[in-house]
Structure 1
């Protein structure tokens, strides 16, 4: 049986730059509830249990509804997401799945209609950041950590 590597303890030097990006995004011009919704959706796509636990708790603590979280996987069909959220979710999925190496024109245009240039840059880096965190947690799984997060713990 392989031994679990606790990247959060032993990989601090490597995680420092990623954590700096997280700190930048915490002060983003994009509203935090939307960023957490994106973090949650991307974590669903990537199957990152730790990040799903973390961002669901942060979303609920911030006033998000259980219904919207439970239905997020089907956001295209659900009536309770705004156009801004839909544009962000579509961009997050496109940047996470990378079909053909580019975001399709319709997704890009929808995002440009909803977000300023500065917001679009921050949103893109938020998607990059959560994909990176997901991949670190998937590469170095620590099942004992899942469920231990408390809202705002890494704020």
Structure 2
């Protein structure tokens, strides 16, 4: 495996993204929905750092383990609201750049106001940027962040 640089050693370049992340992402969106979007995009992109971080934040904000476990199979699980399903469909369409995703857009348009659609899209773009930084440079979550589950 090729050794990669630590992108966080260049905070002068990373700080604007941190500032953007804090300014925009979930204004007007339910915290639970924002967490689900971040986790789902991170699953698709294989970003371990973001999966650990956002799963822990979701649990701290009251999200259930069951819904986090079922997120990869949200279409089959009955645990998600129509609004959450619309956001997850839009997340997948934008993360995978599915240019034919009219059905996903129709779901989002039915469940979200115009302003919420923009905010949701900014949130999805933001988490995808973090996923690409962390996955691209193979940034791993600290071992102390990994929760041990009792057998």
The normalised TM-score by structure 1 is: 0.86
Aligned residue number for residue 117 of structure 1: 114
Task: Say if 1:27 and 1:40 are closer, same or farther in 2 by CA, change over 3 A.
Answer: closer
Count of paired positions: 146
Unaligned runs of 5+ residues in structure 2 are: 147-151
Contact residue 26 and residue 34 of structure 2 kept, 8 A: no
Q: Deviations over 1:56-92 (max 9, x none)?
A: 1001111111110111111001001000000000000
Contact residue 31 and residue 61 of structure 2 kept, 8 A: no
Task: Pick the aligned partner of 1:135 from 132, 135, 143.
Answer: 132
Aligned residue number for residue 43 of structure 1: 42
Q: Deviations over 1:19-73 (max 9, x none)?
A: 1221113561112221111000000000000000001100111111111011111
Unaligned runs of 5+ residues in structure 1 are: 151-155
- CA distance in 2 between partners of 1:111 and 1:73 (Å): 19
- CA distance in 1 between partners of 2:107 and 2:44 (Å): 21
User: How far 1:4 sits from its partner (Å)?
Assistant: 4.2
Residue pairs, 1:49-128, within 5 angstroms: 49-99=48-98, 102-128=99-125
Q: Deviations over 1:88-136 (max 9, x none)?
A: 000000000113xx25222111101111111110100000000000000
